[in-house]
Each structure stands twice: as structure tokens, then as C-alpha cells.
Structure 1
């Protein structure tokens, strides 16, 4: 029988079936792409496109501070009060209610709010990494927003962000923040060996190959959470370039498997949610798949890894 502490830990991981919020997820995906492209339009390029990502907050997802002129602005999806909040460093603010509306209307509302705040912005008018790529300004087919589903999705991200953050702390080499990529709508954290990688072949739908060349310029082991796989989403882990034998490496837990279709290891979210210790289950998956990538490619693990509790006794 699970202890009370374990039961509470499991309850923190909400159940959200992929099929139950497909229309909301597809609409929200277009909305976050619109806001993401606003950040892309203003933020200076960082390696691997780190300047375009969002971050999990105690209420939703934020762009963090975006430079504009001599000041800054930010945009946050608040999945508690279900508002899109736009704020500027000179005190300006606008709120847009998150409710069912066509992508075209959301696109117009965001553009108008930015104009009113003195941050006029022109973005690329079509989404990336999806097929078909309906231009935002004429997209009336995606219009559903279920606040309960959006709230549950944010709660999934909270748990994933927390466990990925603990995993990130064990690495002193080059490593990304734990951040949300709006292209594929996944939360990710990527470790790097320090060596350059072979040129990526590209191939993502409606996304220039040069985008992937920048994203995968260096040898890496990447992991994260994606809400669109399996029954309730899935944690994933992959390596680029993939070392020989990676797919056949032993990983934990037993529910994890290598998907040749996706070219990565997957751990179903429902296997985590129902585990006696969800945090340990995810941690085991992240560590074992990273070891498979790092050992397979001959990374200098002694130089790249660290103990996050190294100052605990001070």
C-alpha cells in the first residue's frame, strides 16, 4: 500500500487524456506559436533558438522579458485566471481573456494589444512544424478553448518542469534551461558534449532546414515532456547524432521503450502518474537514457557531471 506522502505525490500528477482535449490542444498550439513569434521578432538570436522559448510559471507560461527599444515587455499565458497578460516596463498592461475564439481573432487581439502598448510587431503569418500550416490571420477552424483542460496541461508542465530542473542540476557542461518550445509544444532540457555535430538534414514540416541546422549544431542528449504522445502524453529522450547501439540500450523503468518511428525513447505519462514514486520514475528514465547517449558517444562524463548537493553540509 502506498504511503500518504507517496499518494500525495501521485495526486500532484493530473490525468489528462490526449483524446479528451485534442481540439483545445490544437487551438492552444496555434496561440502559443503566435506569441512565440512575437518573442522571435524582437529577441536577439541565441544558440539553438533558446531566445524564442517560454518558461513555466506558478500560473502558466511566460515569454520572460523581451527587449523593445530602451525597455522590455513580456507576455504570459495565465492558466489559473485564463487570461493572456501583456506588460511593459513603462507600466503598460493589457489582458486578453483566454476563451473559445478562432485563431484569427486571437491573432488580431494580440496585434492590437501590442499596438496599444507601443510595441507594434509583425510576425510570420503561418505556424511551423505542423501540417497543414494554415495562416493565423485566416484560421477559423481552430477555435476551441476548454479552461479545465488548459489548467490540467499546465499542471502537467509544473511537475515535468520540476523533475527536469532537478535533472538539469546534475550537469556542469553546456546545458539548456528547462524551456517550452512552441514549435512542437514540448517542454525540453538538452545537454551537450561540447563537440560539433554533423549537419542536421532538416525535414520538419513547414520549417526551414536551416532552423534545424542551428538547433542541432552540436552533439546532444535531449529530454522532455510532450503532451501529444500516447494516452496521456509522454516523456521522451533522444540523442543527436544517435550513437551506435543507443536504441538497444537498457533503460528504466520497464514501461520505457525505444520508438523507431519517433527515433527516441518514450515513457508514457500514465506510467509516471500511476507509479508509487512518480519523481523517481521520471528521474530514472532521464538518467538511464542520458547514460545510454553519453556512454555510446564517448562523452567525458567526469568533466560534465556534478553533485547538486555539493554544498549541502556548509
Structure 2
């Protein structure tokens, strides 16, 4: 297992450029997909070689947009066998990529207009006007992909045995994180008015994820976020594992840095312990009604 990583500041130019490229594909999926609760229809698939939209429905045929981050190209292809490939190279600006992506969709017969303003991004220049983000460091991207692969195993190890409604790990184009959720089945209306929160927070859930860092928190980290949000965990902080993990009341989330996970004797176990102990603390603060059934062990043999 590759235990290397880069702090966000060490590859920010490339991270931001890739983030914006992926946002465009996510917005295409958002515009054409059947709507699902908690924004599940905008989740993107993490695969062995990259990130893809999965099947996007269109009038004449289905299509997909796939970012091969190991071979460094984007394939825009449809179910009729047509494909347009966009090489990912240093110097390709966000504006240029936007033009190539829109042209590819036209060629495939699936033109899809999108909102060109980036979402949840610190520098919201419209895609078609952004010439300043144009960096692509292949080694940094490959390392990000390796980190995603490790994170997927950790998240899946925690989420897989849970019963009921579970979202397995997927990529979110807004925040550039890989995350999954286990839901309680209990309604929990959101008190805010913003469209993302109003449609994303409607029942009790526990989200686990990994993000590569951003302008506010530059260390790539795992996180656990309960909803309804926790402002305080009282005396239960002593139950949090491993010892390097912490609860951030201002963010209402538990955090374990990737660096600290890699420093553990068994990094994957350290991350899964982090998720399980965070979930256990949540249940002490606000126990879910059907917790015993949700966590009842599976009985598969072999």
C-alpha cells in the first residue's frame, strides 16, 4: 500500500484544476439524472483507475464521462459506441476543458448546458472564463488516486455490514471528497433555507468520508459527520479512537488526519476504529431508534 500523500498546499494548483474539471462532469450528471433523496443522483463512481459519472440518461442513448486518472485522459462515450477522448495535460485550462467537454457532448448527440459557476469552490470564476487554473501534475494526480483507493477500502469496511439504507463510498464533485452514509430511517427536518442543505439533510444519518484538504484545512483527512449536527460530545471524547483523532465542535465533526492513519501499525484498522468509535459516541449522545437492527451482525459464512 502506497502510504505517500501530499498536503493540499503542495499540489493546490493541480488539485483546483482537477476539482473544476470534475465539477463540470458532475454538473452534466446533475442536469440529466433522475433526482434522488439526499442528492444521491449527483454522486460519482470511484473506480480502480479514476472517477466517472456512471450512466447518464439522455434522449437517444445513455452516456457517461469517465476520468481515467491513471492514464490521464477523459472519455466521453455513449451506449452506441461513439467516444471522444480529451487528454489531461499540464497547460490545459479550465476554460479550454469546458469548451472541449461541451463540444464532445455535441458530437455524441447529448448536448447538455450547465451552470458555469463553480459550486462550493473558493474561487468561483465561471468555467468558460477561467484561464488561470491550468496545472496538471501527473504524479500528484496518481497519488490522489492512490489515496482514494485506500480511503474507499476503509469507508467500505465500515459501511458494508450496516443494514437499512446505506450509501456506499462515492465522489462528490462539490467538495472533492469521497464519502458514504448510513441512515437511521428517522426524519430530521433541516432548519436552514439553502437548497443544498434543505435537500441533503432530511433524516438522521452518519457520514464517513475522506477529503484531500482545502484552503481552510490543508491536511488530507478522514472525517465522520453526524446529522443532526453535534455541538458537544460531553465526556465521551475519551472513547474516540485512535488517540490522534479529535472532535471539532466548530465543524460538528470528528477528524483523523491521513498522516496519522498512515503512521499507525495497521492504517486501515486505525481508520475503521475511528469511524466505529465516532459512531459509538453519536449513539451515546443521540441513540437511533433502530440501532440494534441496523448494527445486527451479518450471518454470511465463508
Structure-2-length-normalised TM-score: 0.93
Instruction: Determine helix, strand or coil for the equivalent of 2:74.
Output: strand
Partner residue in 1 for 2:206: 221
Partner residue in 1 for 2:223: 236
Which of 144, 155, 176 is equivalent to 2:146?
155
Gap regions ≥5 residues in structure 2: none
Correspondences of 1:6-85 after superposition (within 5 Å): 11-85=1-75
How far did 1:274 drift? 1.9
Correspondences of 1:143-222 after superposition (within 5 Å): 143-201=134-192, 209-222=194-207
- CA contact 2:213–2:221 (8 Å) conserved in 1: yes
How far did 1:247 drift? 6.3
Structure 1, 164-173 or 275-284: larger mean CA deviation: 164-173
Correspondences of 1:262-273 after superposition (within 5 Å): 262-273=251-262
After superposition, the C-alpha distances for 1:14-56 in whole angstroms (9 at most, x for unaligned) are 3222221011111111111111001011101011111111111
Q: How many residues align?
A: 296
Counterparts of 2:263 and 2:25, CA distance in 1: 34
How far did 1:238 drift? 1.5
Which of 87, 94, 97 is equivalent to 2:84?
94
Counterparts of 1:86 and 1:76, CA distance in 2: 6
Query: RMSD across aligned C-alpha pairs, in angstroms?
Result: 1.6
After superposition, the C-alpha distances for 1:211-266 in whole angstroms (9 at most, x for unaligned) are 21110111111110010165640000111113574365321000001123322111
Over 4 Å off, 4+ runs: 229-232
- CA contact 2:20–2:118 (8 Å) conserved in 1: yes
